[in-house]
């Protein structure tokens, strides 16, 4: 076996450990701000897993969108909520049971997806579609959706700014 293959196979375990520990911290930490910070660590681990699978574009998306944008929005949501860091309430029993039930259903769906998937791409070490291929396809075959995306982003930006400014006044 090639040395780089061995290294990437070995690298999986510490990365998986970091993801699992960070994910457990997210749900167990009392301070919601620290939970958000562990969530960022968890996202970083997932980005590393994408890199191990040679999914460079997904890894870039994970770093830019999840670690960049989503984390900023989560932290802003925490910062804008008054005294949220000092509230340790877990809700009523009914609330906890219903959340647990929904999470159990989600777990069943994920397990089914895991068992029914053949994982051929993961076994082959990636799909073989490089970031260069994505760039070429994005600007030729999928040009119209790509340009439509810019209009969508523009609409989202102006809409969000308009609403936020209305709050400000």
Partner 1 sequence: MVAGALFFAWLMRPSKPDPIKLDVYECGEETVGPSQVQFNIKFYLAAILFVVFDVEALFLLPWAVAFKDLGIRAFIEMILFILILFVGLAYAWRKGILKWA
For partner 1, the binding residues (CB under 8 A) are 33, 57, 60-61, 64-65, 68-69, 72-73, 76, 78-80, 82, 85, 131-136, 138-140, 143, 146-147, 149-151, 153-154, 156-158, 160-161, 164-165, 167-168
Q: At what angle do helices 32-52 and 71-80 cross, to 10 degrees?
A: 180
Give the residue with the Cβ less far from partner 1, 53 or 138: 138
The full 3-state SS of the chain, as one line of letters, equals CCHHHHHHHHHHHHHHHHHHHHHHHHHHCCCHHHHHHHHHHHHHHHHHHHHHCCCHHHHHHHHHHHHHHHHHHHHHHHHHCCCHHHCCCCCCHHHHHHHHHHHHHHHHHHHHHHHHCCCHHHHCCCCCCCHHHHHHHHCCCCHHHHHHHHHHHHHHHHHHHHHHHHHHC
Q: How far is the CB of 161 from partner 1 (least distance, A)?
A: 6
Q: How far is the CB of 56 from partner 1 (least distance, A)?
A: 8
Give the residue with the Cβ less far from partner 1, 92 or 150: 150
Q: How far is the CB of 44 from partner 1 (least distance, A)?
A: 16
Give the residue with the Cβ less far from partner 1, 113 or 164: 164
Give the residue with the Cβ less far from partner 1, 119 or 162: 162
The answer for residues whose C-beta is within 8 angstroms of residue 39's C-beta and 6 or more apart is: 22, 26, 71, 74
Give the residue with the Cβ less far from partner 1, 33 or 95: 33
Q: How far is the CB of 58 from partner 1 (least distance, A)?
A: 11
Q: How far is the CB of 90 from partner 1 (least distance, A)?
A: 20
């Amino acid at each position: 076996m090639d040395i780089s293959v061995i290294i990437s196979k070995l690298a999986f375990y510490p990365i998986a450990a970091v993801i699992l520990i960070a994910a457990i911290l997210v749900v167990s930490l009392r301070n919601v701000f620290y939970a958000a910070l562990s969530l960022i660590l968890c996202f970083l681990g997932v980005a590393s897993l994408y890199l191990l699978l040679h999914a460079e574009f997904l890894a870039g998306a994970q770093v830019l969108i999840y670690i960049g944008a989503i984390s900023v929005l989560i932290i802003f949501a925490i910062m804008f909520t008054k005294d949220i860091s000092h509230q340790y309430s877990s809700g009523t029993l009914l609330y906890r049971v219903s959340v647990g039930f929904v999470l159990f259903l989600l777990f069943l769906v994920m397990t089914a997806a895991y068992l029914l998937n053949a994982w051929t791409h993961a076994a082959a070490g990636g799909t073989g579609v490089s970031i260069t291929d994505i760039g070429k396809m994005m600007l030729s075959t999928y040009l119209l959706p790509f340009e439509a995306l810019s209009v969508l982003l523009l609409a989202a930006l102006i809409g969000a700014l308009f609403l936020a400014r209305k709050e400000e006044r």
